[in-house]
Amino acid sequence: MDVFKGLYHTMGPLRFFIFLGTLTIAIVGYGTIGWWLSKNIGWPDSYGFHCQGRGCLWIELYHSPQLLKAGRRDELILFAWMWLIPAVTAVTLAAIISKRWLRRRKDRIRPLY
C-alpha cells in the first residue's frame, strides 16, 4: 500500500485515479477477452484435457499448440492472448540482462599492452 501512497502523492488525486482506472479497465478487459475466447471455442475441455486450480497456467501453455492446428481466427487470437504476457516478460528480461551485460562489458578496465 505504500506504493499507492507514493503514487498518490507524486501524481496527485486526479491523475492517480485516472491511472488506476485505466489500469483496472485494461486488466479487466484483458481477462474478459481471454474468458470470452475460451468459452467461445471450449478451451480447454474440448481439446482433450481439463484443469482446475493452481498450476493451470503452465498446463494450458503446454497444451496451447493444439490451438494452432485448426487455425481458426478465435483459436489463433486465444493462442496469442495466452502467450502475450510470457512473451513480454521474456523480452523485458532479455533487454534488462543485455543492457547490464553491455554496461559491464563497456566499463571494464582494459590492460595496457
pTM for the structure as a whole: 0.76
Q: What local confidence, expressed as pLDDT, does residue 111 receive?
A: 67
Structural domain tally of the chain?
Answer: 1
Residue 86 preceded by cis peptide, ω within 30: no
Phi, then psi, of 43 in degrees rounded to 5 = -75, 135
pLDDT tens for 72-112 read 999 999 999 999 999 999 999 999 999 988 888 776 666 66
Q: 29 in a domain, yes or no?
A: yes
pLDDT tens for 14-31 read 999 999 999 999 999 999
Q: 23 in a domain, yes or no?
A: yes
C-alpha of 48 from chain center: 25
**In terms of Cα–Cα distance, which of 22, 20, 32 is closest to 81?**
32
| Whether the Cβ atoms of residue 77 and residue 37 lie closer than 8 Å to each other | yes
* Distance from C-alpha of 99 to C-alpha of 70, rounded to nearest angstrom: 40
Q: 8 in a domain, yes or no?
A: yes
pLDDT tens for 36-69 read 999 999 998 888 888 887 888 888 999 999 999 9
Q: Grid coordinates standing for 29?
A: 478487459
Q: Give me the domain span that covers residue 49.
A: 2-82
Q: 106 in a domain, yes or no?
A: no
Q: 30 in a domain, yes or no?
A: yes
